[in-house]
Chain A
Amino acid sequence: MKPIKKYFSLKTLLGIVIALAFFSILPNLPNILTPYLRVVLIFLFTYVILAESYDIFSGYSGYSNLGHGSFFGLSAYLVGILLGGLRGGYSPVFQPALPLPVAIIVAVIASVAFAAAISVPYFRLRGAYFSVASLGLVLLVYYLANNLRPFTGGPEGLHLPGHGEASTLLAYYLLLPAALASVIINYLVSKSRLGLALISIREEEEVASEYGINTYRVKTIALLISAALAGYAGAAFAYAIGVVNPTGMLGLEIALAPVVMTIFGGSGSFSGALVGAAVLTVIQEALYTRIAYFHLFTYGVLLLVVGLLAPGGVVRLRGLKKLFKPPE
């Protein structure tokens, strides 16, 4: 009991329980939660996991991982393939049709393995150069998804068999606890030795290394945690949507979403990623349903303005700082 008390006040714990209970009951009130709203919430949870997991590695270490979406997309595709997704037009090489839990576990392990593999060449790059190079990872997975047609169904993608209302509801309950967990994990990382080590890398990697921090190991651990969460989000999201195609799972809009949302909200703080994901998901939905043309344009201009006016993200704005208490 003691370690829990050290990190969470009773009020916070109560808040977490209430949030969990509220969102758990929500889908059982069909009059309030329409199928459309449920999908919006699925998007919200997915984006929260993506933003928080991006922040765990990049927000604290300062290494902007623009390839974060590749973990998400890779896992989404694996779930699509392992569940026996139908490829329109291409005769499948193999059609396993595994049960969902097995598919999710395999997909998450694969994302972590992928992250471990790419960390070898990419961690040879320092700071900004890492960011620049990592954007290529998303495109690499995108092209593979597009080109390995017997496995992935090419541009049309995979259609999950037996997808319907029930699977969306199940996916909702798969994503909800994960979203909450990712916020808590981010918070715990910030309070842990790992988080401190990451922040010291952000401030001055050379000095951190001289003070006995194994910078390579610390960065790798954070990247693997972040990849596992993103992989889980990808797996559950693919199951929720039922269609896995290159643009939907690996398009640059979704691949850059965690980066943009975290920086928008304020990187290096769990509240920043949460606020960024929530605000931008709502704005995106509002724009796409209310405006006929130029929603992408409006969204882009909004990002531009916030990027210019809020150097530390929304949570570090003067009026909101007291409310969110982000670390500097």
Chain B
Amino acid sequence: MMLRRIARVAFTFVVMNLSAITGLAALRRGREVWR
């Protein structure tokens, strides 16, 4: 149970950090990310 929880938190952390990179890429491409 504990391992599952840690795995979920680790996954969220990775998603969060990947989003910072995809967010910058989206801005640079001028893609609409606010709708």
Co-complex (A, B)? no
